[in-house]
Structure 1
Amino acid sequence: MKVAIMGAGAVGCYYGGMLARAGHEVVLIARPQHVQTIEATGLRLETQSFDEQIKVSASTDPSAVQGADLVLFCVKSTDTQSAALAMKPSLAKSALVLSLQNGVENADTLRSLLEQEVAAAVVYVATEMAGPGHVRHHGRGELVIEPTSHGANLAATFAAAGVPVETSDNVRGALWAKLILNCAYNALSAITQLPYGRLVRGEGVEAVMRDVMEECFAVATAEGVKLPDDVALAIRRIAETMPGQSSSTAQDLARGKRSEIDHLNGLIVRCGDALGIPVPANRVLHALVRLIEDKQQQG
């Protein structure tokens, strides 16, 4: 299978590397610093069980999606529209575009822009870019995917590459569950620059996270979302299963980059306002992260 990774950051490089390691033809569409290193020495994929240099193609040009059977769409939610339009002229009509993104709106945005089949996936993986062309995997790696025309073949492809896949008719509920997890952890981790294990031990943090989640649950219920069972318990356990992981929002702020906060706590604020549901905890976290971002941008 020919696979293109549109937006090959930590998530895209991990899944692209795993598929390339399994023998698929993979091209990573990434930033110049990563592309230069990958072209010179390959992608370094450092996981809990192996540390290897993986031979893959790399490009800065969205047209590199040309001929791909599968496109893993991994750009930040803030870049969904621009990245989709950039790759659109080069996409094969038969390509499957799989959205591996945070947030709950991206697949619908892609469907409005592309003629190709689009499916949403929920990503449960702890990764970071440890340097140019070097992705470090801290844990997990499973995907929950909407049913697609590729069906069992897609699941088998990922499974053979060491990526567990579950197909679900309620990916919307799973995406919202992931959104609530991100709302509970990401901003707090970003503001404090602490990993999850240390974060949750802070005074008053458990109560703040509980307030955030309760607001999210209220909004999800009003939106008619069917959440999986025991979401709150699963969210609390993240700190136990990935204690050393910092949020993607924390990683963005540490690098002086704009985060996806408008599509996380910010989305809950917009939905809460539209529905008349008070969301003060989410509003404060969203405002604080935006203030930090604005300060960094202004120097």
Structure 2
Amino acid sequence: MKIAVMGAGAVGCYFGALLARAGHEVVLIGRPALVDKVRRDGLWLESAAYTGAVSLQADTDAAAVGTAQLVLFCVKSGDTQSAGEAIAPHLSNDAFVLSLQNGVDNAQRLSAVLGREAVAAVVYVATAMAGDAHVVHHGRGELLIGASRHSAGIATLLTQAAIPTQVSGRVVEALWNKLVVNCAWNALSAISRQPYGRLLESEGVIPLMRQVFDECLAVAGASGIPLGEPLWKAVLDIGMSMPGQHSSTAQDLTRGKRSEIDHLNGHVVRLGKIHGIPTPVNATLHRLVKLLEEERDGR
């Protein structure tokens, strides 16, 4: 299958590499430095299952989605509209667009921009870019995708490419589950510049995370999303299963990129205001990350 990855960051590069290794024709759409490196040397994949160069195509132009039958949409949440507008004129009529993004409303926003359905996916993978065309896999790698008439076939294709994928009618709830986990970990990792394992060992961090968690559950409940107490264990399990992982927000700050904090803790704060639910801890973490971004950018 011809596959385009719109937004060749750590997630897009990792899944693109696996699909290319499975024999699919993959094009990564990303920054000039990455594109030049991939065209010259291939994409370097570092994982427990395989380490080496992977040959695939790369382009800086969104028009490269033109012949793709599957588009993995992996841009940051803040770029959903602009990136969606960039690919919209070039999509083939039968292209299946899959949103592999953090946050809970990207597929909905992308569908509005494209004027066609974009299917939501929940991404469970720990990856990082170690260079312009060097992706490191730290753990997991499965997807949960929304139901549509083509989802079962796409899930089979992805699973055969070593990307375990299930189809679910409860993807919105799963996206909220992941949002809560991200709200608990991402900002703290970014502010402290610490990996998950070290945060767990730090005095006062777990009670602080619990406050974030409780605010998120209250907002989710008011938004009609039934999340429960078992999710707290999942929050803690992330730190224990991936102790060396820095959050995506921490990675963004380190690499000089705009983070997705507005669509994580910031999203909870906005919904809290709508529903009249106080979210002081989420608001504090959100503002601290924004201050770090402003300092980095010289504002």
TM-score range with shorter-chain normalisation?
over 0.9
Corresponding position of 2:286: 286
Which consecutive residues of structure 2, in runs of 5 or more, have no partner in the other structure?
none
Contact kept? 2:145, 2:151, Cα under 8 Å:
no
**What is the letter of the counterpart of residue 30 of structure 1?**
G
Post-superposition CA distance 1:184-218 (Å, at most 9, x none):
00000000110000011111100110000000000
- Residues 228, 118 of structure 1: CA spacing in aligned structure 2 closer, same or farther, 3 A cutoff? farther
SS in 2 for 1:158: helix
Corresponding position of 1:205: 205
Shift of 1:93: 1.5
SS in 2 for 1:244: coil
What is the CA–CA distance in structure 1 between the aligned matches of 2:178 and 2:296, rounded to whole Å? 27
Identify which range, 44-53 or 169-178, moves more after superposition. 44-53
Contact kept? 1:93, 1:115, Cα under 8 Å:
no
Shift of 1:249: 0.3
Corresponding position of 1:218: 218
SS in 2 for 1:101: coil
What is the CA–CA distance in structure 2 between the aligned matches of 1:151 and 1:218, rounded to whole Å? 32
What is the CA–CA distance in structure 2 between the aligned matches of 1:190 and 1:205, rounded to whole Å? 14
Corresponding position of 1:96: 96
What is the CA–CA distance in structure 1 between the aligned matches of 2:7 and 2:138, rounded to whole Å? 20
Contact kept? 2:69, 2:92, Cα under 8 Å:
yes
Shift of 1:262: 0.4
Post-superposition CA distance 1:130-187 (Å, at most 9, x none):
1011100000000010012213211111111101111111100000000000000000
Contact kept? 1:3, 1:26, Cα under 8 Å:
yes
- Residues 67, 229 of structure 1: CA spacing in aligned structure 2 closer, same or farther, 3 A cutoff? farther
Contact kept? 1:126, 1:245, Cα under 8 Å:
yes
SS in 1 for 2:126: strand
Shift of 1:229: 7.1
What is the CA–CA distance in structure 2 between the aligned matches of 1:59 and 1:241, rounded to whole Å? 35
TM-score by length of 2: 0.98
**What is the letter of the counterpart of residue 9 of structure 1?**
G
Corresponding position of 1:73: 73
What is the CA–CA distance in structure 2 between the aligned matches of 1:166 and 1:109, rounded to whole Å? 23
What is the CA–CA distance in structure 1 between the aligned matches of 2:132 and 2:227, rounded to whole Å? 38
CA RMSD of aligned residues (A): 1.1
What is the CA–CA distance in structure 2 between the aligned matches of 1:152 and 1:82, rounded to whole Å? 29
**What is the letter of the counterpart of residue 219 of structure 2?**
V
What is the CA–CA distance in structure 1 between the aligned matches of 2:207 and 2:229, rounded to whole Å? 21
**What is the letter of the counterpart of residue 22 of structure 1?**
A
4+ residue runs over 3 A deviation: none
What is the CA–CA distance in structure 1 between the aligned matches of 2:222 and 2:11, rounded to whole Å? 31
TM-score by length of 1: 0.98
Contact kept? 1:94, 1:116, Cα under 8 Å:
no
Shift of 1:228: 6.8
Post-superposition CA distance 1:250-283 (Å, at most 9, x none):
0011122211000000001100011100101101
Contact kept? 1:173, 1:228, Cα under 8 Å:
no
Post-superposition CA distance 1:80-102 (Å, at most 9, x none):
00000011110011111100000
Contact kept? 1:13, 1:135, Cα under 8 Å:
yes
SS in 2 for 1:298: coil
Aligned residues: 299
**What is the letter of the counterpart of residue 154 of structure 1?**
I
Aligned residues: percent identity?
56
What is the CA–CA distance in structure 1 between the aligned matches of 2:174 and 2:232, rounded to whole Å? 13
